[in-house]
């Protein structure tokens, strides 16, 4: 993700606009895009601040955070449950749709890991393969 323009530059561009220059003229003077000047002026009119908006994902644990204790209980009760089975159970009992990969990431963040046996293979038996 790119870095936002400095507060100093933002304030200078906004000062030009406030003094009566057009947004595009202020952008040309400070060698920034017209889009930046337009969006900056809009942001100042909405919030009163030249501070850039927060970048990245919003803070928080996501939609699975409230269900982590329940998920951990289910995995504790049935350690060899698969992620698709866990997703189905979550949908049926809590009416929350989650992709199996999302469930896996959430459980890994709690410290749960998939243990392997001494042969280096997954601890669970593999599903049947279609073969001749």
Output 8-14 pairs: Cβ under 8 A, ≥24 positions apart: 10/40, 10/50, 10/51, 10/52, 11/50, 13/37, 13/40, 14/40, 14/41, 14/44, 14/50
Within a domain: 74? yes
The answer to whether residues 42 and 73 belong to one domain is: no
Nearest Cα residue to 84 out of 68, 104, 106: 104
Residue pLDDT, tens place only, 97-117: 999 999 999 999 888 876 655
Name the DSSP class of 113: -
Specify if 60 maps to a domain. no
42 and 72 together in one domain:
no
Confidence band (pLDDT; 50, 70, 90) for 126?
A: very low
Cα–Cα–Cα angle for 62, 65, 66, rounded to 5 degrees = 125
User: pLDDT for 40-54, tens place per residue?
Assistant: 999 999 999 999 988
pTM for the full model?
Answer: 0.52
pLDDT at 7 over 80: yes
Domain span holding position 77: 65-109
- For residue 127, pLDDT beyond 60: no
């Amino acid at each position: 993700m790119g870095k936002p323009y400095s507060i100093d530059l933002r304030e200078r561009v906004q000062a030009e606009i406030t003094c009566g220059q057009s947004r595009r003229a202020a952008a040309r003077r400070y060698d920034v895009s017209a889009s930046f000047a337009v969006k900056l002026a809009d942001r100042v009119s909405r919030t009163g601040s030249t501070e850039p908006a927060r970048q990245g994902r919003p803070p928080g644990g996501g939609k699975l955070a409230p269900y982590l204790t329940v998920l951990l209980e289910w995995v504790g009760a049935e350690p060899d449950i698969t992620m698709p089975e866990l997703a189905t159970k979550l949908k049926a009992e809590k009416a929350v749709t989650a992709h199996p990969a999302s469930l896996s990431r959430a459980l890994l963040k709690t410290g749960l890991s998939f243990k392997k046996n001494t042969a280096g293979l997954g601890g669970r038996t593999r599903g049947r393969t279609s073969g001749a």
